Amino acid sequence: MNRVVVGLQWGDEGKGKVVTYLSRYHDVVARFSGGANAGHTVNYGSFKVIHHLLPSADFIRNVGIAIGNGVLLDPQVFREELVELRERFPGYSGEILVSENAHIVLPVHKEVDRKVDEVLKIGTTKRGIGPACADRVMRANVRIAELHDEKRVRALLKKNLSLKSFYNLTFDVEKALDDLLEFYNTIKGFVVSSLQMKRTLEGKNVLFEGTQGVLLDLDVGTYPYVTSMNCSSSGVSAGMGFPVKVDETIGVFKAYTTRVGEGPFPTELFGDEGETLRRAGHEYGSTTGRPRRCGWLDLPLLNYAIEVASVDTLVMTKADVLNGFEKVKVCVRYKDGKELLSLRDLEKKEPVYEVFDGWKSLESREFDRFVNFIEKETGKPIKYISTGERLEDIVEV
Distance, in Å, from the CA atom of 155 to the CA atom of 369, rounded to the nearest integer, reads 62
| Binding piece for ligand IMP, criterion CB under 6 A, among 37-45, 175-183, 236-244, 336-344 | 37-45
Nearer to ligand IMP, 10 or 370 (CB): 10
Task: Indicate if 179 belongs to the active site.
Answer: no
Is residue 127 at the binding interface for ligand IMP, with CB under 6 A as the rule?
Answer: yes
Burial 135-156 (b: 16+ CB within 10 A, else e): bbeeeebbbbbbbeeeeebbeb
Q: Give the interface size with ligand IMP as a residue count (CB under 6 A).
A: 21
Distance, in Å, from the CA atom of 83 to the CA atom of 325, rounded to the nearest integer, reads 42
Q: Which residues lie closer than 8 Å to 209 by C-beta, 6 or more apart?
A: 5, 15, 19, 29, 30, 31, 32, 55, 56
Nearer to ligand IMP, 201 or 309 (CB): 309
DSSP-H helix ranges across the chain: 15-22, 75-88, 107-120, 129-137, 150-164, 173-187, 194-201, 235-240, 271-280, 299-308, 365-378
| Residue 102 CB, nearest approach to ligand IMP (Å) | 16
Encoded one letter per residue, x for contact with ligand IMP by CB under 6 A and - for no contact, window 252-271 reads: --------xx----------
Is residue 129 at the binding interface for ligand IMP, with CB under 6 A as the rule?
Answer: yes
| Binding piece for ligand IMP, criterion CB under 6 A, among 99-107, 127-135, 139-147, 235-243 | 127-135
Which of 125, 317, 378, 386 is close enough to bind ligand IMP by CB under 6 A? 125
Q: Which residues lie closer than 8 Å to 342 by C-beta, 6 or more apart?
A: none
Is residue 331 at the binding interface for ligand IMP, with CB under 6 A as the rule?
Answer: no
Q: Which residues lie closer than 8 Å to 101 by C-beta, 6 or more apart?
A: 69, 143, 144, 145, 193, 194, 241
118 alpha carbon, distance to own chain's centre: 24
CB 232 within 8 A of CB 308: yes
Write phi, then psi, for 306 (nearest 5 degrees). Answer: -60, -45
CB 41 within 8 A of CB 286: yes
The one-letter amino acid at 63: V
Q: Which residue is nearest to ligand IMP (CB)?
A: 261
104-123: contacts with ligand IMP (CB under 6 A)? 122-123
Task: Indicate if 393 belongs to the active site.
Answer: no
Which of 94, 130, 210, 300 is close enough to bind ligand IMP by CB under 6 A? 130
Is residue 11 at the binding interface for ligand IMP, with CB under 6 A as the rule?
Answer: yes
Which of 29, 30, 38, 132 is close enough to bind ligand IMP by CB under 6 A? 38
Is residue 55 at the binding interface for ligand IMP, with CB under 6 A as the rule?
Answer: no
Q: Are strands 28-31 and 206-209 parallel, antiparallel or unpaired?
A: parallel
Which of 101, 160, 222, 228 is close enough to bind ligand IMP by CB under 6 A? 228
| Binding piece for ligand IMP, criterion CB under 6 A, among 5-13, 57-65, 187-195, 358-366 | 5-13
Is residue 9 at the binding interface for ligand IMP, with CB under 6 A as the rule?
Answer: no
Considering 26, 27, 40, 52, which one is annotated as catalytic? Answer: 40
Nearer to ligand IMP, 206 or 216 (CB): 216
Is residue 124 at the binding interface for ligand IMP, with CB under 6 A as the rule?
Answer: yes
Other C-beta atoms lying within 10 Å of the C-beta of residue 366 = 14
Nearer to ligand IMP, 27 or 51 (CB): 51
The torsion of the CA quartet 151, 193, 56, 224, rounded to 10 degrees, works out to: 70
Nearer to ligand IMP, 2 or 227 (CB): 227
Among 252, 279, 281, 284, which Cα is nearest to 384's?
Answer: 252
158-217: contacts with ligand IMP (CB under 6 A)? 211-212, 216
| Binding piece for ligand IMP, criterion CB under 6 A, among 7-15, 20-28, 161-169, 191-199 | 7-15
321 alpha carbon, distance to own chain's centre: 21
Footprint on this chain of ligand IMP (rule: CB under 6 A): 10-12, 37-39, 122-125, 127, 129-130, 211-212, 216, 225, 227-228, 260-261
Which residues does the annotation mark as catalytic? Answer: 12, 40
